[in-house]
Amino acid sequence: MAGIGVRLNRIFSKNTITTSLIGFGYSMVITVAPMFLVIIAIIIMQALLGFSRIGYADRELYSCTVLYIFIFSLLTAAPFNAVLSKYMSDVIYKEQFEDILPCYYLGLILNVTLSCLVGIPFCIWEYLVGEVALFYVFMGFCGFISLVLVFYSMLYLSICKDYKKISFYFFLGMLTTVLLSLLLVYLLGVPVSEAMLFSLDVGFMVIGCLELALIRSYFRENSGRYREVLQYFKKYWLLVVTNFLYILGLYIHNFVFWSTDMRMVVVHSFVCLPISRPACSSSHGWRCTSTSATSCTPRR
């Protein structure tokens, strides 16, 4: 992030209104623009596809799926990012750039493995207990793994200070998401929630593939020294714990709210805190039954 600070210092040093606005815009593009693009894409899809007109339980299932994808993709990446960042800083300082790809590949394997250990049992529960369609469950899992790849690759692109390219990749991915969702709903007749989730998966995969291609273009040599990366996890294991607890602290309020009697259980799998309570009726194949915690389950 040092490169960002130097660039912003140059912009703000001119001390004019115009340069201040440029500085604000630049800092926004390189920091929060990717997340804003995702939010804007979801809002556009909801507006153009009539998301508010589908059944309440369908909406909650989609919303909970997307929420869980974001939260747990960040949590499963947290144990690795700090150690891998430390390792990359050291090899860059030593100018051993051929050690970047071993770090990337090994870290990706560890990250995806942990994500699968968390995600697959949940998906099995969602399918067997929640009775959610297998294709919908699979789409949720694919979105989860795709976003893991996106967040993980962003760690390496930050080394190259290509923040504008990251934002551009998110723009392309979310543009693909919106256009594909319109195609699926209005031309192929796919249900709205399924079309939105599938399109979001494709958008994340586009971003992840573009990031991977950019990383490969920067770091072409592979030293094959994977053992050194593992030794860093043993040496700096406190970084694993610290970074995981830090990321967990950003979302711990969700888990606290989910433990109260105001929570809602969707398809006996997802726990969330809804903004509004359901009317316990739907004309789209779902029914909501109220217990101590409102539960949305598919109508048999």
**242-283 residue pLDDT tens:** 888 888 888 887 788 777 777 888 888 888 877 655 554 443
Mean pLDDT of 34-56: 88
Q: How far apart are CA 77 and CA 108, in angstroms?
A: 9
* Nearest alpha-carbon partner for 167 in 4, 35, 11, 43: 35
| CA-angle at 164, arms to 208 and 41, nearest 5° | 60
- Torsion from C-alpha of 25, 31, 37, 39, nearest 10 degrees: -120
Q: Do 60 and 266 touch, CB atoms closer than 8 A?
A: yes
**Least confident window among 23-32, 120-129, 135-144, 233-242:** 23-32
Per-residue confidence band for 22, with pLDDT thresholds at 50, 70 and 90: low
Q: What residue spans define the domains of the chain?
A: 36-260
Mean pLDDT of 55-68: 89
What pLDDT, on a 0 to 100 scale, did the predictor assign at position 139? Answer: 94
Q: Please count the residues of the chain.
A: 300
Amino acid code (one letter) for 39:
I
Amino acid code (one letter) for 33:
A
Q: How far apart are CA 62 and CA 73, in angstroms?
A: 16
Q: How far apart are CA 43 and CA 140, in angstroms?
A: 19
**116-135 residue pLDDT tens:** 999 999 999 999 998 899 99
**pLDDT at position 206 over 90:** yes
Q: Over pLDDT 70: what percentage of the chain?
A: 80
**Which pTM value belongs to this model?**
0.81
What pLDDT, on a 0 to 100 scale, did the predictor assign at position 204? Answer: 94
Q: Do 130 and 268 touch, CB atoms closer than 8 A?
A: yes
Q: What are phi and psi of 160, to 5 degrees?
A: -80, -5
272-290 per-residue burial string, b: 16 or more CB within 10 A, e: under 16: bebeeebeeebeeebbbee
**pLDDT at position 163 over 60:** yes
Q: What are phi and psi of 265, to 5 degrees?
A: -105, 120
**73-112 residue pLDDT tens:** 888 888 888 888 888 888 887 878 888 888 888 888 989 9
**Least confident window among 82-91, 141-150, 282-291:** 282-291
What pLDDT, on a 0 to 100 scale, did the predictor assign at position 23? Answer: 61
Residue 251, CB half-sphere, CA atoms under 13 Å: how many? 16
Mean pLDDT of 208-215: 88
* DSSP element (H, E) containing 270: strand 270-272
Average pLDDT over all residues of the chain: 80
Per-residue confidence band for 286, with pLDDT thresholds at 50, 70 and 90: very low
- Torsion from C-alpha of 199, 142, 123, 278, nearest 10 degrees: -20
**173-189 residue pLDDT tens:** 999 999 999 999 999 99
